[in-house]
Amino acid sequence: MTQEKANEIFNSDLGQQLDVIYVTSDDRAFIRHAEALKHTNGELDDNTLPLVDKSIVEWYPELIITVPPDEDLDDNGNYIGNDPDFLTN
């Protein structure tokens, strides 16, 4: 799994409601840790075999940080702009 692939999941209608996804070593994504664990143990359904690598990795939405334009910063890099909502958006 890559962050780009995780972003595709988080950008979907369902994914926008999630804070984390659980990805197994065979790159299957789950919204519940318990289901990912059952998958790694081969217990999720009759067609699932146990995985050799039972690792589960948590992926989070990519954090995008917005930086104000240079003209809104003082010499020390502190925000001095006129938009009071900038730091809350």
pLDDT digits (tens, 9 = 90+) for 30-44: 999 999 999 999 999
Q: Which domain holds residue 14?
A: 3-84
| 49 found inside a domain | yes
11-45 b/e with 16+ CB inside 10 Å = b? eeeebeeeeebbbbeeebbbeeeeebbebbeeebe
| 89 found inside a domain | no
The whole-number pLDDT of residue 89 equals 47
The whole-number pLDDT of residue 46 equals 86
| 70 found inside a domain | yes
Has residue 17 got a pLDDT over 70? yes
| 32 found inside a domain | yes
Confidence of residue 59 (pLDDT cuts 50, 70, 90): very high
- 7-21: average pLDDT: 91
| 19 found inside a domain | yes
State how many domains the chain has: 1
Phi-psi region of 42 (alpha: psi -120 to 50; beta: other; left: phi over 0): left
